[in-house]
Amino acid sequence: MEKILEYRVVAILRGIGKEDVLPVAEALVRGGIRLLEIPFNQRGAAPGEDAPAVIRLLKHRFGGSLCIGAGTALTAEQVDLAADAGAEFILSPGTSAAVIARTKERGLVAVPGAATASEMAEAYRCGADIVKLFPAGDLGLGYMKSVLAPLNHIPVMAVGGVDEHNLQDWLAAGASTVGVGARLVQDEWVRNGRYDELSALAAQYVSRVAEGGKTGR
């Protein structure tokens, strides 16, 4: 939790194969990123096996220098798979009391998703450490400000629509942290090995956080 609130930018490595994940992670680390999300692929041939394998690979390579979470965790069984692989936080697109409960039982940080004030309050009541506002970009900055007016005790991660240009706006609006996928880890750059550009863009995100202050709510 302390690392998430300190570094504040979670890079989401969705759709990155095992052959690319190490150079991508190394490029992000060079740019200053210290938080990664490795999502489960629910439509894969063997759902539940892809993310843990990547997490193990990254933990072996980077040890404690990266804080790694498992995303799109929809079942308690997937929480166990991620925890056994070395994940430190668990993210979901929605709120499942069973997923939150197993996450807390395993001593991990719970980051379930929510879109409405009722969902956010319920997620927090169920034990969420941070509530993921998703899809933040579609809901908008004004929406988040309005929801957080009465719910300002709930730490929020804004996911969806965040980029290097509006990152500070989301933090100023009340987000404790943000999650960024394809707007940071760009498919074309990965396909063509343009890792220096990825590092440079990652550094921009880190710089925006530093300029806006590093202490979360």
Question: CB–CB of 148/139 below 8 Å?
Answer: no
Across residues 45-74, what is the average pLDDT? 88
What is residue 48's predicted lDDT score, i.e. its pLDDT? 52
What's the residue count for the chain? 217
Instruction: Give the separation between CA 181 and CA 159, rounded to whole angstroms.
Output: 9
Instruction: Give the separation between CA 9 and CA 29, rounded to whole angstroms.
Output: 12
Instruction: Give the separation between CA 35 and CA 70, rounded to whole angstroms.
Output: 11
Across residues 104-120, what is the average pLDDT? 98
Q: Within a 13 Å sphere around the CA of 199, how many CA atoms are in the beta-carbon half?
A: 10
Instruction: Give the separation between CA 52 and CA 160, rounded to whole angstroms.
Output: 23
pLDDT above 90 (res 45): no
Question: CB–CB of 75/93 below 8 Å?
Answer: no
What is residue 47's predicted lDDT score, i.e. its pLDDT? 47
Extract the tokens encoding 101: 């409960």
Q: Where are the beta strands (DSSP E) in 13-66?
A: 35-39
Q: Which tops the pLDDT comparison, 58 or 15?
A: 58
Is the peptide bond preceding residue 112 cis, with omega within 30 degrees of 0? no
pLDDT in tens, 179-197: 999 999 999 999 999 999 9
What is residue 44's predicted lDDT score, i.e. its pLDDT? 61
The CATH code for residues 2-212 is 3.20.20.70
What is residue 216's predicted lDDT score, i.e. its pLDDT? 45
What is residue 38's predicted lDDT score, i.e. its pLDDT? 96
Question: CB–CB of 130/156 below 8 Å?
Answer: yes
What is residue 18's predicted lDDT score, i.e. its pLDDT? 85
Across residues 9-26, what is the average pLDDT? 94
Question: CB–CB of 85/50 below 8 Å?
Answer: no
Is 170 exposed, middle or buried (CB count within 10 Å of its CB: 0-12, 13-18, 19+)?
Answer: buried
Please report the sign of the dihedral spanned by the C-alpha atoms of residue 66, residue 153, residue 181, residue 91: positive
Q: Which of 3, 153, 16, 151 is nearest to 89 (CA)?
A: 3
pLDDT grade, residue 215 (50/70/90)? very low
